[in-house]
């Protein structure tokens, strides 16, 4: 991940990345990808000068302001790439900043972790935090915070794809259905390895759902409009998930599926009107 975002930053800015900049790029890209569908008036600032309640300005590594359902949201993210764990004094200083900022959520990201006293303080004060081992799950965590407004609803139309999402009470949970891409790929199972299935029509996705999934795997079919598809591809590229377009065929009277595997960048180049930019 370090090499990936260092390269991304050099291409974007035409220079070597300063220490910690790949972390800022990572969290910026995740938030932008997940907010692009529903947020209005989205403003993203790196190394932002943000005023507190008294007009004093604090420097924030990554600062988001956006509106969802006419409600203003502010997120301040601190990114540390020190060779040592973050100390309790450092997290106290960050918490002091966000306490002085009106209606602001705080997130602390440290590549090399936190001292135990720092973790305890963050937990006691409700500040979300991630270290180098938990960074791969950062996108999933952001999805869970935003999922009430970020997930495709029943009215979403496939542009061009439809997919199947794990569900609870007939609503998507925020996770993805992954199917294996081996000789057993004609059945759908919740697995860690494999690909996210994409269908060319809603009826085909519904047929596959009925054919391959059981009551033990509750799911729903949703259309992926272009902004949602773009965000999904961006996140998949970060966490190393592939996609598979599903083409039905009949063999010996049985309806089966040929899976064509796609990496996220190739899928974006072929089917997204504005491609992802982190390669």
On whether the CB atoms of residues 68 and 83 are closer than 8 A, the answer is no
Confidence class of residue 4 from pLDDT cuts 50, 70 and 90?
very low
Q: In what order do the strands lie in the sheet with 104-110?
A: 40-51, 57-68, 71-80, 104-110, 128-131
DSSP 80-114: E--SSPBPHHHHHHHHHHHHHSTTEEEEEEETT-B
Q: Which residue has the higher pLDDT, 82 or 93?
A: 93
Torsion angle defined by CA atoms of residues 36, 40, 45 and 50, in that order, rounded to the nearest 10 degrees: -150
Confidence class of residue 34 from pLDDT cuts 50, 70 and 90?
low
Global confidence as pTM: 0.51
CA-wise closest residue to 275 among 266, 30, 236: 266
d(CA 35, CA 221): 21
- Highest mean pLDDT: which of 4-18, 25-39, 116-130? 116-130
Rg (CA), the chain: 21
DSSP 191-240: -SSSEEEEBSSHHHHHHHHHHH--TTS-EEEEE--HHHHHHHHHHHHHHT
On whether the CB atoms of residues 199 and 271 are closer than 8 A, the answer is no
Q: Which residue has the higher pLDDT, 30 or 183?
A: 30
CA-wise closest residue to 196 among 162, 153, 160, 152: 162
d(CA 58, CA 51): 6
At residue 2, the pLDDT reads 42
* Cα 230 versus chain centre, distance: 11
Per-residue pLDDT tens over the stretch 174-207:
677 888 875 444 333 333 468 999 999 999 999 9
Domains of the chain: 2-149 (3.40.1350.10), 152-271 (no CATH)
Buried b / exposed e over 197-209, threshold 16 CB at 10 Å, is bbbeeeebbebbb
Tokens 């609803």 correspond to: 153
Tokens 């033990």 correspond to: 216
At residue 277, the pLDDT reads 36
d(CA 62, CA 30): 12
d(CA 136, CA 138): 6
Per-residue pLDDT tens over the stretch 115-171:
999 999 999 998 889 887 776 666 666 666 665 555 677 888 898 999 998 888 777
On whether the CB atoms of residues 197 and 190 are closer than 8 A, the answer is no
* Cα 272 versus chain centre, distance: 17
At residue 53, the pLDDT reads 81
Per-residue pLDDT tens over the stretch 244-274:
999 988 888 888 888 889 988 899 889 986 4
* Cα 105 versus chain centre, distance: 18
Question: Could you tell me the sign of the dihedral formed by the alpha carbons of 230, 177, 67, 28, in that order?
Answer: negative
Per-residue pLDDT tens over the stretch 196-242:
999 999 999 999 998 888 777 788 999 988 867 876 786 677 667 88
The answer to whether residue 276 scores a pLDDT higher than 80 is no
């Amino acid at each position: 991940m370090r090499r990936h975002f260092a390269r991304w930053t050099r291409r974007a800015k035409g220079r070597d990345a300063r220490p910690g900049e790949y972390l800022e790029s990572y969290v910026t890209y995740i938030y932008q990808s997940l907010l692009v569908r529903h947020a209005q008036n989205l403003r993203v600032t790196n190394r932002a000068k943000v005023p507190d309640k008294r007009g004093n300005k604090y420097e924030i590594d990554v600062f988001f302001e956006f509106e969802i359902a006419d409600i203003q949201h502010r997120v301040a993210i601190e990114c540390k790439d020190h060779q040592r764990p973050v100390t309790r004094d450092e997290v106290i200083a960050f918490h002091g900043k966000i306490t002085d900022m009106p209606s602001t959520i705080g997130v602390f990201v440290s590549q090399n972790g936190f001292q135990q006293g720092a973790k305890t303080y963050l937990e006691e004060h409700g500040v979300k935090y991630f270290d180098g081992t938990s960074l791969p799950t950062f996108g999933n965590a952001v999805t869970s915070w935003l999922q009430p407004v970020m997930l495709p609803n029943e009215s979403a139309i496939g542009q061009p794809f439809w997919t199947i999402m794990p569900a609870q009470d007939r609503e998507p949970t925020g996770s993805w259905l992954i199917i294996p891409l081996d000789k057993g790929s004609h059945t759908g199972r919740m697995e860690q390895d494999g690909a996210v299935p994409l269908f060319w029509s809603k009826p085909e996705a519904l047929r596959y759902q009925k054919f391959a999934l059981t009551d033990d795997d509750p799911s729903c079919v949703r259309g992926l409009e272009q902004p949602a598809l773009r965000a999904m591809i961006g996140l998949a590229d970060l966490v190393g998930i592939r996609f598979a377009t599903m083409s039905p065929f009949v063999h010996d009277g049985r309806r089966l599926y040929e899976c064509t595997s796609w990496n996220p960048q190739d899928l974006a180049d072929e089917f997204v009107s504005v491609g992802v930019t982190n390669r």
